[in-house]
Amino acid sequence: MAPTRIGIDLTDSPLKVGGRVMGQYIVVEGSKGIKLLAAEMAPTRIGIDLTELPLKVGGLVEDRYIVVEGSKGLKLRGAATSTTKEEVVAILKDGVDVVKSSFGAPNFDAAVIVIPNNTSEKYQDDIISYGRGNGFNITQVIKEHTAVSAVYVKKVQPKIFTNLAIISLTGGILEISVVSIVPPINQYEHYHFVLEAHEAHPEVIDLDGSKDQKGSGSGIIGIIGGTAKALIVDPFENVLAGILKNIVEILNIKKTEVDKVVFVGKASRSEKVRNAVKESFSKAEVWEGIDNPDEIVAYGAACLSYEDKKIPIYPLNTPKIPEDQGQAEFPLLDPEQD
């Protein structure tokens, strides 16, 4: 008799056995198999955006990045402050709940956490410590402009030097960051990132405050001693223009040097913000590579988490590296697969 040589399919339960019988291939189901969960097939690596409430979880599902809202988060009003271990653990458990309900896995294997730009390094370290101390694999804690820069490079793969202006209203604080992106000169080298400018208005901005205030000025809410205090100020456009002036003049970022503008979350929905930015950076093109600006931060964190990548961003006043020099220590993000 000829040898009996078969194939066994364990990709589903019950198993299937294929073989050749009387010159013809047949497939027959067995009675057992391996009960596969999504987490057993591939690691569940996620990004968690804590820059707005509620938190957002980003991850890869069936070769597509999705973003799902949780139920908890950091209650931001103005500058970010430290939080307790209990709050951090509650946030991470909420992330687990999102993974269970939307990603088909019992837990996440690794997470990249995004916090507001004005958060201290100590707070970043605290989140990692609290998370790992309670069994959660937190691989990175990054700032908002890092996550946005990651999305831009992931989607665009720029071939020329680019100054990216990132406009956000995290926690009601209007922030503008300018990140310079130096592309690699060949396939063996990597992107280089420098935070050229970062400016934030010192008080919480209420875009609709003028509706409740007397007079023509926009409303700004300042947190003073834990109490919200309403202030009458110049029209909103004047406030924003002052912030932009600091970036353009004091920090020597000329209007022509900002190549692309990205609006994050609430900032994308304010015509006041868009018009003021357009006037200050008239030659810059608005980049809207993500359908929903509210998801761009979680998307960036998810990309870095899934690919296990880091993009160190040099601090302010770091000398620019000439474009003809390599930057081998800076990881190159893989182009997104269509």
Determine the Cα–Cα distance for residues 272 and 20; give it in Å rounded to an integer.
Answer: 71
pLDDT reported for residue 104: 86
pLDDT reported for residue 316: 64
- pLDDT-based confidence at 317, cuts 50/70/90? low
**Positive or negative: CA dihedral 153, 144, 59, 107:** positive
Range with lowest mean pLDDT among 2-11, 40-49, 143-152, 329-338: 329-338
pLDDT reported for residue 149: 97
Average pLDDT (4-30) is 84
Alpha helices in the chain (DSSP H): 38-41, 85-102, 121-133, 144-156, 236-245, 271-280, 296-307
- Residue 107, token pair as written in the block: 């837990």
Across the beta sheet with 16-21, the strand order is 6-9, 16-21, 24-29
Range with lowest mean pLDDT among 4-18, 75-89, 210-224: 210-224
Average pLDDT (136-154) is 96
Please report, rounded to a whole number, the percentage of residues in the chain having pLDDT higher than 70: 77
Q: Whole-model pTM?
A: 0.75
Range with lowest mean pLDDT among 75-89, 165-179, 203-217, 242-256: 203-217
Helix (H, G, I), strand (E, B) or coil at 147: helix
- pLDDT-based confidence at 322, cuts 50/70/90? very low
Q: Is the pLDDT of residue 251 over 70?
A: no
- pLDDT-based confidence at 8, cuts 50/70/90? confident
Taking a C-beta distance cutoff of 8 angstroms, is the pair 49, 302 a contact? no
Q: Tell me what the pLDDT averaged over the chain comes to.
A: 79
Average pLDDT (148-169) is 95
103-132 tens-digit pLDDT: 989 999 999 999 998 888 888 899 999 999
Q: Is the pLDDT of residue 25 over 70?
A: yes
Determine the Cα–Cα distance for residues 276 and 177; give it in Å rounded to an integer.
Answer: 15
**Positive or negative: CA dihedral 310, 158, 194, 196:** negative
Helix (H, G, I), strand (E, B) or coil at 249: helix
* The residue to which tokens 């998801």 are assigned: 295
Determine the Cα–Cα distance for residues 206 and 167; give it in Å rounded to an integer.
Answer: 16
The residue that leads in pLDDT, 233 or 1, is 1
pLDDT reported for residue 4: 83
Alpha helices in 2-84 (DSSP H): 38-41
- Residue 179, token pair as written in the block: 């990140």
Q: Is the pLDDT of residue 232 over 70?
A: no
Range with lowest mean pLDDT among 91-95, 229-233, 258-262: 229-233
- pLDDT-based confidence at 63, cuts 50/70/90? confident
Range with lowest mean pLDDT among 26-30, 82-86, 194-198, 308-312: 82-86
193-230 tens-digit pLDDT: 999 888 887 777 766 554 443 333 333 333 333 333 34
Determine the Cα–Cα distance for residues 102 and 43; give it in Å rounded to an integer.
Answer: 15
Determine the Cα–Cα distance for residues 153 and 131; give it in Å rounded to an integer.
Answer: 28
Respond yes or no on whether the N-terminal peptide bond of residue 335 is cis (omega within 30° of 0).
no
Taking a C-beta distance cutoff of 8 angstroms, is the pair 48, 108 a contact? no
pLDDT reported for residue 77: 54
Q: What does DSSP say about strands 64-69 and 56-61: parallel, antiparallel, or unpaired?
A: antiparallel
In the chain, where are the structural domains located? 1-36
